[in-house]
Structure 1
């Protein structure tokens, strides 16, 4: 599984990268054919000084791609919300495939 973490408009510290990697290490439990994962962590400061933190996760599996995006006031929270949503989607897709 190839993993790529991209940061946009900032430099991530080691603690944030470790947090992301620890969560991503759990992905093979939910789908055994993952070929790649891309994570985008972005700072968004539209119109105001308040900077929202956006986390986007793309997971590539044969014949399918999962994409989730969440936004909150911290990168950890944004990533955790996106990861939980991703896991839910992957479980749903796996159940749908097993029913057919």
Structure 2
């Protein structure tokens, strides 16, 4: 799956982008009809330590899922947000499955 990653107010290093790509690739196991995914990494200028915002938008046929998490690190935000997406995609797949 192609993941479009954009970083706001900083430059993301390749290890972070590779980490996000590997985690997002695992979503294909739960729902194989993902069209596109966009990831936005933002650093807010606050004195608070929890200033990293991880936002992901996943487009599927007929719908899109948006999850936004604010954490201390982007890796932590990615883990929490992608786990939330896994649950949403599983739920959508169950709804679409014909009941026999």
Q: Normalised by the size of structure 2, how large is the TM-score?
A: 0.89
C-alpha separation in 1, matches of 2:96 and 2:48: 45
2:18 corresponds to which residue?
18
Contact 1:43 1:51 (C-alpha < 8 Å) held by counterparts? no
1:2-49: CA deviation from partner (whole Å, max 9, x where unpaired): 320010110011110110011111121111111100000110124x36
Contact 2:50 2:70 (C-alpha < 8 Å) held by counterparts? no
Contact 1:53 1:75 (C-alpha < 8 Å) held by counterparts? yes
Contact 1:45 1:51 (C-alpha < 8 Å) held by counterparts? no
| Number of residue pairs matched by the alignment | 99
- Structure 1 stretches of 4+ moved >2 Å: 48-51
1:64 corresponds to which residue?
63
Q: Normalised by the size of structure 1, how large is the TM-score?
A: 0.89
Tell me how far 1:75 sits from its aligned partner.
0.6
Q: CA RMSD in A?
A: 1.6
- Structure 2: state its 5+ residue gaps: none
Q: 1:10 to 1:32 in 2, by over 3 A?
A: same
Contact 2:65 2:85 (C-alpha < 8 Å) held by counterparts? yes
